[in-house]
Amino acid sequence: MNRTEPTLLRLQGLEVSYGATQVLWGISLSVTVGQIACIIGSNGAGKSTTLNAVAGVLKTSRGKILFKDEDLTSQPPRERVKRRITLVPEGRQLWPKMTVEENLRMGAFPPPFRKRANTNLARVYEMFPRLKERRTQLAGTLSGGEQQMCAIGRGLMSGPELLMLDEPTLGLAPKTVDEIFEFIGNVSRQGVTILLVAQNVNYALRFSQYAYLMETGKITLEGASQSLLSNQYIQEAYLGST
């Protein structure tokens, strides 16, 4: 992906704390329009915290969150949703006793998105035929991979400009991981910009165009995903190469 494309999201010197404990230290990154960008790193590095800060779930103590050059740092989550920023959280967080279709429609619950709910639902079913087959099935009875498809589909119901995916393949079997990343690629080809967080470094780097390595709340390395894939430190520390 050409880094000269317009910047959709920019974080400048972002800092976040949980009470007295600071977890993000001066995070700066950008995501360009149409790109799949990823944040990689080990568990507890601050990756999910970064996405939650962009979504407005966590307050920042310092720094800026700019979306299409608009400062959203102090805006509540609902304002970010209105600007079509969507977070698919870790663990999927579906309503298990609601059907697949009811879960999907909750993604278009905010009033600005309701008028396009049927159109977006048809689009989701076209992208995820298995969800259409199971549309009347309770979400809690789906397999892990199907639940993740449903969570991504729900995220697409608002027609997002920026789709943030937090550990979309965590705990899934290797074959299902392949399938989920295929779907992520399909979403990207539909013109949705994606910011992906993943512990699965190999997959994340192979399916993204640009990557940031986060360690102990700081960005320690960044670059084109292919260059990071061949980086000796990445290979030794995260890919098990010697």
**pLDDT of 165:** 97
pLDDT tens-digit series, residues 172-213:
888 899 999 998 999 999 899 999 998 889 999 999 999 999
pLDDT tens-digit series, residues 81-118:
999 999 999 888 899 999 999 999 999 988 888 889 99
pLDDT above 50 for 1: no
Please report whether residue 93 resides in a domain. Answer: no
Per the CB < 8 A criterion, the answer to whether 105 and 117 are in contact is yes
Show the beta-strand stretches assigned E in 100-189: 162-166
**pLDDT of 2:** 47
Burial class (CB in 10 A: 0-12, 13-18, 19+), 203: buried
Task: State the pLDDT confidence band at 134, using cuts at 50, 70 and 90.
Answer: very high
pLDDT tens-digit series, residues 146-179:
999 999 999 999 999 999 999 999 888 888 999 9
CATH code (residue 237): 3.40.50.300
pLDDT tens-digit series, residues 32-61:
999 999 999 999 999 999 999 999 999 999
Measure the CA–CA gap between 8 and 36, rounded to whole angstroms.
Answer: 12
**pLDDT of 16:** 97
Please report whether residue 210 resides in a domain. Answer: yes
Residue 8: domain span = 1-83+197-242
Please report whether residue 114 resides in a domain. Answer: no
Measure the CA–CA gap between 72 and 92, rounded to whole angstroms.
Answer: 25
Please report whether residue 56 resides in a domain. Answer: yes
User: Percentage of residues in the chain with pLDDT exceeding 70?
Assistant: 98
Number of domains in the chain: 1
Please report whether residue 185 resides in a domain. Answer: no
Per the CB < 8 A criterion, the answer to whether 60 and 18 are in contact is no
Please report whether residue 29 resides in a domain. Answer: yes
